[in-house]
């Protein structure tokens, strides 16, 4: 998925300052004198001196924790030089000195000073010393050699947030221990400190529990796996399985701890329990039989909340989990737990009656609080997805806000700790490029720039409430991600952007500067053999309009010296095609393709977009209803940009409404004859997306008095629907479109009981 960039020679710059890591895409130039560190430190100053590291250099580490950090430095150094440095208790010349203070002012902070004959790292605590060493590694050159110049520097640094995490789902697809260690190494490199390990789900149970051997013998295996797009409903017919032994888990936990990373295990409850129920069917409401999940999505079967055996089982499981994971937190899931089984289960209904609970949502709160009491009694605390807010939040729970930011706001206002992980910015299983050759993903669109733009502290919180936002993490669900290379492709460089969001002071973040530093940073990822995505340097097209019918396509690339060429007839862009110099105006139907070339070689994916021209293209659109943030292209203008979306949920042009209606008004330049109105709609019931009950078009000359001109009622539509209605003898300037949501999804269908999604796009006027 990526090409390796050639490594350029480091150049001696004015003032004696050496660039520490100067490999980058061919032809790129990095600003003179820049210290390229990611995440950007709180304070970093270049100094005129440079330190020469050679075989005689000594690593000074007086205490066991410092010696361990020194040895990790040696492991990396050996890859560059072929040798390791001597580790000594003292030294003050030609030395790299590690010191650890007891400074509680800035946990995980450090200072680093590099002069002519000494590099000194002083951590405010042991983790700070480790992060100082990570910064030193970024000051090393990326090309191998017997001697290495380290630029003079004076750095003071500490993180903005205490929780800086990544989540990896190993249930949908399983990844070996060696890859898990690499995943952790890359986290440490970027000063992330929490690895959220999603170990149980409907499609597989991945942790050995000795008291319940059927979990690894039965629940860890499924008969087959869904392949291709969800809408295809195809399966590979191949048995799939895997789990981690307790010895392997202890190995990972120890490995992570040496890199100052806490591992937070997730044991899902009360939903996402199908694999466990397959092994022990007595724990479900119906008694089974059950089958480990083979397709993606949410299953109705959950742990029976009226069965005391369920709580004994989970307490036994969590006892073994706590023995393996010494950290403070256990993640208990709590998300996407349908209530349909509980509604019909006599035991669950009896529990609701006996406990005086209001409904099934309160029953979920009872379930979570009962588990929390057990974990609290063992000195642990729970983390749960934001659904644990439903029915009343457990007293000491930390909330992980994934369905946007509202759950995090609610929890923080209640003075509960919060970790932000919204689908809008931090779901790295979403697409990162609109390129036609992107591997299949679950949906959505989160490019690198959007990750970098994120601020974990919602503006709705005051200063006191904001203290409860402990940080954020990115999630990687692996329905469509089968191997480690694909994991890395989805995670990097988006994880690099996240590291700066979580570490660097907000007022010091600058995306353009970040991109310059990223050019060097890619060479560090090359040395670690990371299969990162290169979209940040490919050609990017932006469609814009002035509301008066004029739309333009503007191209740009972050690749220095890259040349963009394009065609407007759908042919392949070549180095000899039209060279891009100014925005391209769209005034007729066409297909535009563009690519960026360097030395006549294409770099990254091309831009390829068809435009269908009509009277409404480029006109002003006013939205009366706001889409869900996960399915909002970002501007109402995109409802009239001439781009008709593809028949997939993942197309970034869809405006998505969860349980809500759609209403928008398009304004033409003047009162005109109108012969046809239309709207693009998508229906894919397997993914909870339904055609609207009804679509109505109304037209007005003054924008106040509207007359209905066309109405269409849907019964059982599916797929991409290009609704077009012919109208006669109608004149107007304003076209109002209203689409009524299908409402609650009926029993027996995927997502039963939830509000249906409504997907709409291009408003067509002819």
Active site residues: 201, 272, 336
Dist. CA 349–CA 166, nearest whole Å: 38
Q: How far apart, in whole angstroms, are the C-alpha atoms of residue 15 and residue 270?
A: 63
Q: How far is CA 487 from CA 422, 428, 433, 484, 663, in A?
A: 19, 9, 15, 5, 39
Helices 246-258 and 177-189, axial angle in degrees (round to 10): 20
Q: How far apart are the first and last CA of the chain?
A: 42
Distance CA 725, CA 702 (A): 22
Q: Whole-angstrom Cα distance, residue 34 to residue 19?
A: 7
Please report the DSSP string for 621-675 in residue order.
EEESSPPPGGG--S-GGGGGSS-PPPSSTT-TT-EEEES--EEEEEEEEEEEEEE
> In angstroms, rounded to a whole number, what is the distance separating the alpha carbons of residues 655 and 659?
13
Measured in degrees and rounded to the nearest 5, phi and psi for residue 205 equal -105, 120
Tell me the HSE value of 356 on the side-chain side, using a 13 A CA sphere.
0
478 φ/ψ angles, rounded to the nearest 5 degrees: -115, 30
Angle in degrees, 0-180, between the axes of helices 484-491 and 177-189, rounded to the nearest 10: 20
Residues 196 and 652 sit within 8 Å (Cβ to Cβ) = no
- Any idea what the Cα angle at residue 152 is, between residues 41 and 109, rounded to 5°? 30
Residue tagged 């409402």 (tokens): 743
Residues 144 and 421: their CA atoms lie apart, in Å, by: 38
* Residue that has been written with the tokens 């929490």 in this structure: 194
- Strand bridging mode 469-476 / 418-420: parallel
Helix axes 346-355, 360-377, angle to 10 degrees: 80
Residue 745 has what DSSP assignment?
Answer: P
| Cα 259 to Cα 73, 126, 188, 682, distances in angstroms | 11, 10, 6, 47
Q: φ and ψ at 383, to 5 degrees? A: -120, 140
Rounded-to-integer distance, Cα 22 and Cα 523, Å? 8
Cα angle for residues 68, 49, 128 (degrees, 5° grid): 30
The answer to whether the CB of 19 falls within 8 A of the CB of 36 is yes
Structure tokens belonging to residue 76: 């990396």
- Can you tell me the distance from the alpha carbon of 723 to that of 5, in angstroms, rounded to the nearest whole number? 47
Tokens of residue 374, six digits? 């057990």
Cα 432–chain centre separation: 9
- The C-alpha atoms of residue 24 and residue 525 are separated, in whole angstroms, by 11
Query: What is d(CA 207, CA 321) in angstroms, rounded to the nearest whole number?
Result: 9
C-alpha separations of 253 from 190, 247, 262, 575 in Å: 18, 10, 8, 51
In this structure, the strands spanning 694-700 and 719-740 are antiparallel
Q: DSSP 3-state assignment of 588?
A: coil
Q: Taking a C-beta distance cutoff of 8 angstroms, is the pair 263, 256 a contact?
A: yes
* Strand segments (E) across 497-583: 540-545, 551-556, 563-567, 578-579
* Of 654, 105, 668, 679, nearest in space to 434 by CA: 654
């Amino acid at each position: 998925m990526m090409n390796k960039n050639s490594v350029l020679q480091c150049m001696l710059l004015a003032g004696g300052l050496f660039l520490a890591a100067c490999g980058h895409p061919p032809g790129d130039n990095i600003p003179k004198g820049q210290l390229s560190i990611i995440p950007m430190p709180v304070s970093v100053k270049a100094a005129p001196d440079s330190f020469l590291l050679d075989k005689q250099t000594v690593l000074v580490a007086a205490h066991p924790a410092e010696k361990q950090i020194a040895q990790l430095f040696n492991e990396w150094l050996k890859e560059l030089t072929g040798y390791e440095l001597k580790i000594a208790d003292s030294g003050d010349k030609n030395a790299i000195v590690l010191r650890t203070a007891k400074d509680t002012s800035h946990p995980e902070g450090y200072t680093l000073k590099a002069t002519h004959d000494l590099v000194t790292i002083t951590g405010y605590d042991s983790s700070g010393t480790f992060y100082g060493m990570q910064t030193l590694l970024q000051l090393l050159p990326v090309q191998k050699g017997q001697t290495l110049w380290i630029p003079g520097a004076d750095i003071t640094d500490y993180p903005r947030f205490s929780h800086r995490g990544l989540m990896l789902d190993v249930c949908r697809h399983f990844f070996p221990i060696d890859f898990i260690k690499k995943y952790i190494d890359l986290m440490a490199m970027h000063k992330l400190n929490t690895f959220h390990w999603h170990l149980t789900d409907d499609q597989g149970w991945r942790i050995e529990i000795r008291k319940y051997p059927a979990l690894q013998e039965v629940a860890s295996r499924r008969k087959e796996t869904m392949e291709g797009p969800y809408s295809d409903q195809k399966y590979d017919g191949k048995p799939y399985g895997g789990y981690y032994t307790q010895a392997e888990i202890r190995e990972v936990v120890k490995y992570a701890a040496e890199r100052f990373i806490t591992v937070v295990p997730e044991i899902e409850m009360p939903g996402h329990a199908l694999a466990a129920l397959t092994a022990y069917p007595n724990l479900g409401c119906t008694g089974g039989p059950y089958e480990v999940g083979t397709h993606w999505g949410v299953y109705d079967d959950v742990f029976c909340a009226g069965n005391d055996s369920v709580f004994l089982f989970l307490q036994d499981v969590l006892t073994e989990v706590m023995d393996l994971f010494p950290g403070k937190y256990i993640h208990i899931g709590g998300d996407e737990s349908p209530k349909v089984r509980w509604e019909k289960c006599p035991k669950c209904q009896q529990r609701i009656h006996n406990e005086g609970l209001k409904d099934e949502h309160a029953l979920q709160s009872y379930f979570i609080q009962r588990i929390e009491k057990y974990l609290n009694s063992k000195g642990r605390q729970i983390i749960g997805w934001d659904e644990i807010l439903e029915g009343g939040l457990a007293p000491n729970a930390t909330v992980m806000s994934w369905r946007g930011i509202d759950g995090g706001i609610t929890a923080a206002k209640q003075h509960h700790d919060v970790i932000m992980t919204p689908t809008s910015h931090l779901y790295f299983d979403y697409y990162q490029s609109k390129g036609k050759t992107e591997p299949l993903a679950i949906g959505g669109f989160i490019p690198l720039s959007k990750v970098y733009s994120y601020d974990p502290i919602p503006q709705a919180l005051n200063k006191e409430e904001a203290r409860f936002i402990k940080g954020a993490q990115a999630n990687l669900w692996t329905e469509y991600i089968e191997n480690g290379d694909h994991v890395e492709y989805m995670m990097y460089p988006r994880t690099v952007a996240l590291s700066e969001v979580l570490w660097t002071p907000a007022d010091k973040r600058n995306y353009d500067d970040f991109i310059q530093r990223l050019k060097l940073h890619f060479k560090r990822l090359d040395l670690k053999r990371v299969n990162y995505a290169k979209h940040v340097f490919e050609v990017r097209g932006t469609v814009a309009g002035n509301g008066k019918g004029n739309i333009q396509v503007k191209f740009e690339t972050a690749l220095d010296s890259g040349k963009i060429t394009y065609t407007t007839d759908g042919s392949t862009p070549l180095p000899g095609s039209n060279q891009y110099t100014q925005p391209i105006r769209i005034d007729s139907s066409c297909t535009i393709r563009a690519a960026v070339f360097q030395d006549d070689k294409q770099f990254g994916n091309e831009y390829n977009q068809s435009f269908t021209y009509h009277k409404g293209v480029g006109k002003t659109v006013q939205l009366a209803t706001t889409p869900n943030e996960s399915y909002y292209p970002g501007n109402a203008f995109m409802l009239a940009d001439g781009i008709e979306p593809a028949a997939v949920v993942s197309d970034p042009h869809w405006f998505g409404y969860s349980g809500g209606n759609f209403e928008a008004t398009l304004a033409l330049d003047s009162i005109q004859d109108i012969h046809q109105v239309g709207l693009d709609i998508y229906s894919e019931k397997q993914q909870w997306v339904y055609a609207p009950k009804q679509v109505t078009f109304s037209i007005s000359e003054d924008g106040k008095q509207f007359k209905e001109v066309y109405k269409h009622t849907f019964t059982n539509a599916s797929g991409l629907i290009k609704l077009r209605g012919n109208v006669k003898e109608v004149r107007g300037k304003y076209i109002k479109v209203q689409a009524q949501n299908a409402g609650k999804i009926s029993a027996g269908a995927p997502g039963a009981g939830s509000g249906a999604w409504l997907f709409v796009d291009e408003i067509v006027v002819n």
